[in-house]
Every structure is written in C-alpha cells, then in structure tokens.
C-alpha cells in the first residue's frame, strides 16, 4: 500500500465563520500532525477572514487561506485554487461545516492506496444540536459512547454505529462505479490523480454534482473507489439547503460524461498553472498563509 508522505486538507467555506472555527479547532486536535490546511474560500466577507487570521496565530500545522470574489456558487474553482496552493501528495477535501474526529487524518492516511480515491461519510446533526455546538463550543471529539447513544435516541445524530465503530481496511475496494456516497465534504484523492483529470470542472455553475463529475472522470481515468465509512466519518452541522436551480442541468452533464468516458475538466487546474506562485496570485485570488 502506498503511504501518503504529506496530506493537504482543503476546507471549502462561504460566510459561516462560526462553523469554520469549529472545524479548524477539530483539525488542530488531530492525532496525526503531518498535514497542512488550505481554506478554499468562495467569496466570504471580512468576518470569515478575521476568524481565520485569529486562528492562524495558534495553528499547530501550516494554514493557508485562498479567497476568490463572490460571484455565486463556485466551489469547483475554490477547490482548484486550494489544490494549487497545496503541497501534499494526497488531498482530502472537507467542507467548512463538517467537523472531523480526532483520528480523521490518520484514518485517511491508512486508507490511502495507489489507484484509489476514498469516499468518506458524514453524520448529520439536528438544527438544535448544531446551535448548541456552536453556542457552547462543544468538543465533539470528547463525546463518550453514552453521549452518542443519547444523541441518537433524541434524533440529534442520524447515525450511531458509525460514531463508535471503526472497521479495518478489508473489503473496502470496489472496481464497479456507484453513485452512492459521493460527497466532496469528505473525499481523499491522490494529487497526481487530480492532475491527470485536470481537477474540478469550473464550467459547473450553481450548486450540485461538481463532486460527482470529478469522481466520474477519475473512474473513467482508471481510479477506483474505496469506501471510507466506519473510519472517516465527519459531523455535518445543520444548514438550510442551497439554492438548487442548476442541479438537474449539472446532473445531466455528469450522466453524459459517464456515458462518454470523459476524463478531462473543460475548465480546471490547467488555467491556474500560471498563477501557482504565492508571489503572483491572480487578480481576484488572494492568499494568506502561516507556515
């Protein structure tokens, strides 16, 4: 099994600084410290920037903030900017409202294997418990077996076994494509594989399926799926659904690409190659770093 020498955690965020702070706190408490954090910001205001700058002062690992202007939902482009700013040979995508467990990085490292991507899973939290977590700064990494059981019984968690059981790396590989559990809120991919398919496709506009498109194109390029459930779960803070007017159009595009065996993004990493140097960011892209 190929071992990742350094992992880059790319966290997508947009105007939810309290949730992002909770996610970063959890990242700072990982039992594996050989990683960096890249915050891929889809146009947040100064409130988010201030939170990030404050947290940079106590970050135990390198932390970089890349920002683009707010021109609607452009998560694909934000993630590509994050990839270009990263230095790890293995990339784990995480959303800014998904709190990782203390062994999140180490579990992803153990599951990483050549020729595969890892699709993790999430535990959904109720609206009320989400407010408590953010208001009371509850450390989810310290929840006991009993705590989790009570939260499941009250409906504050939608899963229980996945929060208390970690299954070994056996029977996780699949050579067949499945649409199930494709979520860029918890997705591990080798950097070289991302480069092979030109990263996320920025031609997707509005919410929906830019993550499925990446996984489909990786599969078409020969990268197989590996199941990350019962090992890499994250706690997904509740939020209202995004506006989804482009979802059907985006899904149709992905289905066509699956049928056509498409591998390359129309607008992807290649268009950012000239802007890869921290000394010369693109006009609308700003980078802040603490290394």
Residue-wise over 134-150: b if at least 16 C-beta within 10 A, else e? Answer: beeeeebbebeeeebee
Per-residue pLDDT band for 281 (boundaries 50, 70, 90) equals very low
The per-residue pLDDT for range 165-224, each reduced to its tens digit, is 999 999 999 877 776 667 789 999 999 999 999 999 999 887 778 999 999 999 999 999
Residue-wise over 95-123: b if at least 16 C-beta within 10 A, else e? Answer: bbbbbbbbbbbbbbbbbbbeebbbbbbbb
d(CA 172, CA 107): 13
Q: Is 91 part of a structural domain of the chain?
A: yes
If one counts the domains in the chain, the total is 1
d(CA 194, CA 92): 11
Per-residue pLDDT band for 278 (boundaries 50, 70, 90) equals very low
Q: Is 160 exposed, middle or buried (0-12, 13-18, 19+ CB in 10 A)?
A: middle
Q: Is 55 part of a structural domain of the chain?
A: yes
Cβ-contact 247, 207 below 8 angstroms: yes
The sign of the torsion formed by the CA atoms of 62, 233, 201, 46 equals: negative
d(CA 54, CA 21): 10
Average pLDDT value for the chain: 91
The enclosing domain of 21 has a CATH number of 3.90.550.10
**Whole-model pTM?**
0.92
Tell me what pLDDT residue 291 has.
Answer: 57
Backbone angles phi, psi at 93, to 5 degrees: -90, 135
Structural domain for 215, as ranges = 7-290
Q: Average pLDDT of 244-251?
A: 78
Q: Average pLDDT of 236-250?
A: 80
Q: Is 2 part of a structural domain of the chain?
A: no
Q: Is 1 part of a structural domain of the chain?
A: no
Q: Is 271 part of a structural domain of the chain?
A: yes
Tell me what pLDDT residue 165 has.
Answer: 96
């Amino acid at each position: 099994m190929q071992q990742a020498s350094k992992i880059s955690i790319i966290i997508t965020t947009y105007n939810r600084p309290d949730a992002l702070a909770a996610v970063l706190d959890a990242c700072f408490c990982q039992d594996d410290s050989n990683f960096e954090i890249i915050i891929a910001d889809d146009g947040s205001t100064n409130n988010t920037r201030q939170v990030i700058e404050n947290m940079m002062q106590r970050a135990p690992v390198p932390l970089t903030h890349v920002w683009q202007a707010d021109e609607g939902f452009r998560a694909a482009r934000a993630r590509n900017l994050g990839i270009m700013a990263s230095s790890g040979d293995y990339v784990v995508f995480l959303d800014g409202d998904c709190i990782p467990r203390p062994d999140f990085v180490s579990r992803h490292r153990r599951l990483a294997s050549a020729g595969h991507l890892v699709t993790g899973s999430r535990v959904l939290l109720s609206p009320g418990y989400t407010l408590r977590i953010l208001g009371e700064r509850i450390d989810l990494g310290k929840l006991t077996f009993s705590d989790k059981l009570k939260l499941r019984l009250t409906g504050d968690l939608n899963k229980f076994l996945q929060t208390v059981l970690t299954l070994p790396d056996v029977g996780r590989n699949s050579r067949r494509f499945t649409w199930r559990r494709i979520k860029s809120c918890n997705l591990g991919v080798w950097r070289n594989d991302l480069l092979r398919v030109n990263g996320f496709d920025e031609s997707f506009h509005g919410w929906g399926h830019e993550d499925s498109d990446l996984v489909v194109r990786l599969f078409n390029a020969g990268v197989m799926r590996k199941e990350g459930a019962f090992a890499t779960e994250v706690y997904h803070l509740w939020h209202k659904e995004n506006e989804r007017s482009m979802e059907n159009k985006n899904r149709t595009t992905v289905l066509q690409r699956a049928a056509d065996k498409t591998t390359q993004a129309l607008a992807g990493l290649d268009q950012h190659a000239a802007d890869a140097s921290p000394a010369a960011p693109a006009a609308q892209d700003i980078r802040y770093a603490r290394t």
